[in-house]
């Protein structure tokens, strides 16, 4: 007798989405969807904040297992969300100051999340596939931190960046502005370096080489740690017939 699709779904082994996979999915989804949300309408601006909230939920589920981490995370998330909501209603002349504070708050939250991920990688004894996914999320978070820093640097001193006229329209919208500097950050950390955006001032130049060094160091140390742990597990596991 042929099982119906519903019976198959009930009887088949459940596919478990791990928490680090949830985190990585939330990060990627946010980067994909945020640029599509225009700032002109309030509903779309609120939707952008909701997306960030989903990332925060994924972070809390995946990483914050101690009371101290939950408290620190809650303070940073609360501050970032409060600034995001405030920016929706402040007068135009105050948006620059609010945007600066928002970028600083978001970058601080990402740095804290990154520190938790790195701490977990170095302190765990048995490395699972989920932990490797978490390490990859950490690499993305480095780029997101610098994306906020680039956006912050541009807001404070726009002349320190040379941006192609073909893409500078994105600077007039909060979501696309962040997406643009996230794009610049990802291309910088991966050393691809498209010429659509270049730095023309000392602070921008310093941010670039700091990101490249940080990204290369992360890849060298964290990947080497993962490889070493997997090799140690393979050597310590009993061999067939032993």
- pLDDT (tens digit, 0 to 9) for every residue of the chain, 242 residues total? 443 433 333 333 343 567 788 888 888 888 888 887 765 677 777 888 888 888 888 888 888 888 898 999 999 999 999 998 888 888 888 888 999 999 999 999 999 999 988 888 777 777 777 778 888 888 999 999 999 999 999 999 898 899 988 888 888 888 889 999 999 999 999 888 787 888 888 888 999 999 999 999 988 888 788 777 777 766 776 554 44
Q: Domain span at residue 187? A: 17-234
Q: CA 173 to CA 171: how far, in whole Å?
A: 6
pTM: 0.83
Would residue 30 count as lying in a domain? yes
Are 145 and 110 contacting, i.e. CB atoms less than 8 angstroms apart? yes
Are 146 and 106 contacting, i.e. CB atoms less than 8 angstroms apart? no
Would residue 3 count as lying in a domain? no
State how far the alpha carbon of 68 is from the alpha carbons of 54, 80, 108, in Å.
21, 18, 16
Would residue 208 count as lying in a domain? yes
Q: How many domains does the chain have?
A: 1
**What pLDDT score does 93 carry?**
84
Q: CA 35 to CA 131: how far, in whole Å?
A: 29
Would residue 240 count as lying in a domain? no
Cβ count within 10 A of residue 54: 15
Would residue 145 count as lying in a domain? yes
Would residue 242 count as lying in a domain? no
Would residue 142 count as lying in a domain? yes
Would residue 6 count as lying in a domain? no
**What pLDDT score does 31 carry?**
85
């Amino acid at each position: 007798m042929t099982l119906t699709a519903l019976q198959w779904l009930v009887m088949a082994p459940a596919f478990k989405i791990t928490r680090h996979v949830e985190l990585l999915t939330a990060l990627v989804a946010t980067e994909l969807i945020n640029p599509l949300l225009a700032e002109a309408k309030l509903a779309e601006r609120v939707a952008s904040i909701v997306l960030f909230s989903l990332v925060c939920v994924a972070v809390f589920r995946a990483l914050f297992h101690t009371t101290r981490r939950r408290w620190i995370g809650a303070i940073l998330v609360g501050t970032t969300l409060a600034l995001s909501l405030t920016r929706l209603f402040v007068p135009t002349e105050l948006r620059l100051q609010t945007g600066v504070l928002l970028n600083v708050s978001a970058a601080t939250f990402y740095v804290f999340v990154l520190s938790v991920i790195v701490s977990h990688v170095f302190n765990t004894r048995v490395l699972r596939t989920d932990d490797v996914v978490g390490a990859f999320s950490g690499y993305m978070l480095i780029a997101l931190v610098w994306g906020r820093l680039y956006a912050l640097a541009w807001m404070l001193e726009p002349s320190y960046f040379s941006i192609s006229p073909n893409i500078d329209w994105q600077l007039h919208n909060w979501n696309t502005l962040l997406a643009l500097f996230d794009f610049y950050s990802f291309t910088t950390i991966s050393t691809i370096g498209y010429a659509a955006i270049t730095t023309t001032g000392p602070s921008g130049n310093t941010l670039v080489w700091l990101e490249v060094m940080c990204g290369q160091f992360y890849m060298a140390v964290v990947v080497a740690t993962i490889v070493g742990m997997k090799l140690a597990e393979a050597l310590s596991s009993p061999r067939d017939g032993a």
